[in-house]
Amino acid sequence: MLLDWMPFDWILVAILALFALGPLAVTLRRWPNFARVLVYGGAGIASALICLAALLLLLRQGNAVAMWLPIGLPATALDGAGMIGGAHLRLDALGAFFLAVTSLGGVAASIYGLGYGRHESAPLRVLPFYPVFLAGMSLVIVADDAFVFLFSWELMSLSSWAMVLAQHRDAANRHAAFVYLCMASFGTLLLLLAFGLMSGGSGGFDFAHLRENSGGMNSLVLALVLIGAGSKAGLVPLHVWLPLAHPAAPSHVSALMSGVMTKVAIYGFIRVVFDILGAPEWWWGLPLIILGGLSAAFGILSAMMERDLKRLLAYSTIENVGFIFVGLGLALTFTGNERASWAALAFAAALFHVFNHVLMKGLMFMVAGAVLAATGERDIDRLGGLIHRLPQTAALALVGALALSALPPLNGFVSEWLTFQAILVSPELDPWALRLSIPAVGAVLALAAALAAATFVRAFGLSFLGRPRSTAAADAREVDGFSRLAMGCLGLLCVFTGIFPGFVIDALAPILGDLFGATLPRQDLSAWFTLTPISAERSSYNGLMTLLFIALSGGLAALIIHRLGSHRVRRAPAWDCGFPEPSPLTQYSALSFAQPVRRVFGSIAFSARERVTMPAPGDLAPARLEVSMTDHVWQSIYGPVEAAVNRAADRINLLQFLSIRQYLALVFAALVILLTVLAIWG
Amino acid sequence: MFHGLDLDIAHLLAGSLVLVSFMLLYQGRLLGVINIFAFHAWVLAAAVAWQAFIQGAPHLYITAAIALLFKGAFIPYVFHRLVRRMGLHRQIETVVGIGLTMLLGVALVALSIVIILKATRNTELLLLAREDVAFALSVVLLGLLMMVTRRNAVSQVIGFMSLENGLILAATGAKGMPLVVEISIAFSVLIAIIVIGIFLFRIRERFDTVDVEVLDTYRGEKP
């Protein structure tokens, strides 16, 4: 009986179960340990169910499944004769892919939470919201009318806001939560306006109706959705909340927010722009490409300057979202210029990067959580030498860092390589604006990729290599089994998809067919798992061969060095083991490692200034090096807005202190003004 | 159906109501205001009765009777007693000067006439009542103006009552109003006058005045 159910039914049951887990956690507040196991265990099982069902739908390559539930607002859709209410749900190949990816992140975060949740000081500030957050994200993806979409979008924002505020006694977290709330409401407002424009007063808000009802304001809708969904995804200059809010949440929630929630935002963007709006103009991709390139460069530069491990990862998210948006922009550009097969390539690159980023950013936030749990530190200047204390976490951190640095043979390389393949075909386009700008953005992306490598060398090297910079780092202990299991699964998947990317590309085929009517060549037919996005003559990549080559050459080099280099007799001072000065302060610090990049790029991007104070000869005071950096985005955009809002609020405050007669006079004046307007223009 | 003279008399009565509203606005003494308010109600009763006559709608006579009894006799009587028991037969100060208030009133009448004539341009049904509705809106706006310009709580309440008279005029002019609505409005006004009367006494008991400006000092927000 139950086995007859469609996968979509299973997904809805799992979402309902997630919704039910939230209130259940509240009733179990007396038994926090039991509540933790129940919530994370239950959320993990429900997410796994969603993931399997979505994968089944995606791989079966069937038609979209739709469902109508009689709950919700009374009039959400036009149905032939009149309005019908209720909630419209639908899952097509695109939705199934995103659902599988997000719930995969949910599974990993839930397993991680089983162990990591023990360190939570106030578990009830996280437990009730966690499953609701997962349910909200899944519901965004299965929504098929604007009401369900916006409702679940807000649910996702609010429940994650509550978890950002979990450590509410810290003033920085309260500030982060406030900024997050403002930006989330702003983004949703714009999405609301976008849906209103698309509906165009016809009253129908189901996506099927919006698809047919193409209003004349599609460019405006694109701008609204780009800002609305882009602010959630973290596009520069709408990213300001992201490096504040993502690190403030508990680490498994950070992994979800950074790895998964930004992807849900990207899904919303794709759903509206690629699916609902229909045929794009030739220039639509351009703002996406430029903002994406800007985000990639700015995000990774900020990450390079950052000392806080979790904030560094949040900035790296901005970079990766930039990469994804460049891919989407290219797909939009190619579609607008009638190059369907190239559009399919760029879109596949973007979706592949979405998948990869869920894996690697999830993994790295979990590593940051493990470091935090083991040492209590997030500042990489107070870590070091953790490879000896947390060997397994260190190995997984290395996998994550390599993947995020886009090094072969890991998965991050494949998707960025695909993006560059799409950029490299763009000079064959006709409009000159595109021919010139896309390669320029390509150069920016190449710079971002190189800086990403530097950033993660710095992050990994300072935290895991060298000698401990604090006693907390020296006394660290390996984290619990659940955390290592979750990180291990993600790490394995990173390696697996890096070596066999063809499976992912083939799974994307129905999505590309739906949206562009073109697909990439079948990859499972090619020999030795070679990836050929366009044709074998043009370019191909073989992860397996690369892995073998790296393993062979690395092993050979190690062998040669050990056989030849280590055996030579060297003369050195006795007993100092190669370190003439025993203090850990002689090592590279976070500031010194970033100095070259800061001097070259930071002086422009952040107006970075260094000031050296040398004490006079004979003075015993230490010499000081002070670095000052300015956040131009905040100062030039958000600062003035904040000041204007404050000024307006001060003015409006006067209304609090009027007498009864003055209030009456206000009402009277409003009435008279409205009547006058009516008399003149009515 | 309606003769020219019928409409002329209806307009005359409605116009008189506006004129009496101006008298309310101008009158400075509290007892004078109450007397004029009684007169206001009589004119309203006459206007409503005339509407009942020309429309052939007998239930409007009841409306007229209610206006005459409650607003023309009972409420002024209550207010007279109130004012005498409080010993308030003095000059009341208006906040804006009399001349400016009258000018504002004239502007409001002009505004309401422009609006109503414009808004009902295409409505044949309401054609006979167009000017009536314009006058009624003027009465409403003048009542609001009176509430805003007066400081004394009693005259503010009278401003409110004259505003309500304007609403009645508009409703009866627009081809019949259900009797139930009229009666319920009359009763709510009656209850309002009782509640307001009690409140006036309570305010006076505590603060020794019914000047609403004085109350502001007790909100703790002004020094």
C-alpha to C-alpha distance for A438 and A449, rounded to whole angstroms: 16
Pairing of strands A82-84, A77-79: antiparallel
**A661–B114: do the CB atoms touch at under 8 Å?**
no
Residue A661 at interface with chain B, using a CB cutoff of 8 Å: yes
Residue A644 at interface with chain B, using a CB cutoff of 8 Å: no
Quick one: which H or E segment has residue A610?
strand A609-613
Give me the residues of A, 521-550, that contact B with CB < 8 A: none
pLDDT at B127 over 60: no
Residue A659 at interface with chain B, using a CB cutoff of 8 Å: yes
Residue A673 at interface with chain B, using a CB cutoff of 8 Å: no
Contacts of A194 (CB under 8 A, 6+ apart): A221, A224, A225, A228, A272
* ipTM for this prediction: 0.81
- Take residue A172 and report the two structure tokens written for it: 């920085």
Which residue of chain A has the CA closest to B121?
Answer: A682
Angstrom CA distances, A267 to A17, A273, A365, stand at: 23, 10, 22
Sorted by where each begins, the domain ranges of chain A are 285-534, 632-681
Closest CB from B115, B148, B213 relative to A664 = B148
C-alpha to C-alpha distance for A178 and A94, rounded to whole angstroms: 33
Q: What is the pLDDT of residue B223?
A: 47
Q: What radius of gyration do chain B's Cα atoms show?
A: 18
Q: What is the pLDDT of residue A289?
A: 94
**B212–A672: do the CB atoms touch at under 8 Å?**
no
Residue B118 at interface with chain A, using a CB cutoff of 8 Å: yes
Q: What is the mean pLDDT of chain B?
A: 79
Contacts of B153 (CB under 8 A, 6+ apart): B196, B200, B203, B210, B211, B212
Q: What is the mean pLDDT of chain A?
A: 89
Omega cis (within 30) before A237:
yes
Terminal CA-CA length for chain A: 65
C-alpha to C-alpha distance for A364 and A360, rounded to whole angstroms: 6
Asked if residue A524 lies in contact with residue A503, where contact means CB atoms within 8 angstroms, the answer is yes
Asked if residue A675 lies in contact with residue B107, where contact means CB atoms within 8 angstroms, the answer is no
Asked if residue B160 lies in contact with residue B102, where contact means CB atoms within 8 angstroms, the answer is no
Instruction: Determine whether B57 is exposed, middle or buried from the number of CB atoms within 10 Å of its CB (0-12, 13-18, 19+).
Output: middle
User: Looking at residue B91, what DSSP letter applies?
Assistant: B
**A659–B213: do the CB atoms touch at under 8 Å?**
yes
Q: In the 3-class helix/strand/coil scheme, how is A295-361 assigned residue by residue? A: HHHHHHHHHHHCCEHHHHHHHHHHHHHHHHHHHHHHHHHHHHCCCHHHHHHHHHHHHHHHHHHHHHH
Closest CB from B95, B114, B147 relative to A679 = B114
Which residue of chain B has the CA closest to A660?
Answer: B212
Pairing of strands A624-628, A609-613: antiparallel
**A678–B118: do the CB atoms touch at under 8 Å?**
yes
Q: What is the pLDDT of residue B2?
A: 60
C-alpha to C-alpha distance for A273 and A287, rounded to whole angstroms: 13
Residue B96 at interface with chain A, using a CB cutoff of 8 Å: no
Terminal CA-CA length for chain B: 64
Torsions phi, psi for B90 (to 5 deg): -110, 175
Asked if residue A622 lies in contact with residue A615, where contact means CB atoms within 8 angstroms, the answer is yes
Q: Which residue type does B67 have?
A: A
Nearest by Cα to A294 from A311, A317, A318: A318
Helices (H) and strands (E) in chain A, counts: 28, 8
User: Looking at residue A28, what DSSP letter applies?
Assistant: T
pLDDT in tens, B77-125: 988 888 888 777 665 655 667 888 899 999 999 998 888 887 777 665 5
* pLDDT-flagged residues of chain A (< 50): 1-2
Torsions phi, psi for A384 (to 5 deg): 120, 145
**A657–B222: do the CB atoms touch at under 8 Å?**
yes
Q: What is the pLDDT of residue A294?
A: 94
B211: three-class secondary structure by DSSP: strand
A35: three-class secondary structure by DSSP: helix
C-alpha to C-alpha distance for A603 and A514, rounded to whole angstroms: 46
List chain A residues with CB under 8 Å of B115: 675, 678-679, 682
∠ at Cα B150 (B148, B156), nearest 5°?
A: 80
C-alpha to C-alpha distance for B151 and A352, rounded to whole angstroms: 73
pLDDT at B166 over 50: yes
Torsions phi, psi for A106 (to 5 deg): -65, -40
Omega cis (within 30) before A409:
yes
A554: three-class secondary structure by DSSP: helix
Q: What is the mean pLDDT of residues B179-191?
A: 66
List chain B residues with CB under 8 Å of A676: 111
pLDDT at B197 over 90: no
Quick one: which H or E segment has residue A242?
helix A242-248
pLDDT in tens, A245-278: 999 999 999 999 999 999 999 999 999 999 988 8
List chain B residues with CB under 8 Å of A659: 212-213, 215-216
Residue A675 at interface with chain B, using a CB cutoff of 8 Å: yes
Q: What is the pLDDT of residue B184?
A: 66
C-alpha to C-alpha distance for A284 and A273, rounded to whole angstroms: 10
Q: Would you say the C-alpha torsion A150, A156, A161, A162 has a positive or negative sign?
A: positive
**A679–B118: do the CB atoms touch at under 8 Å?**
yes
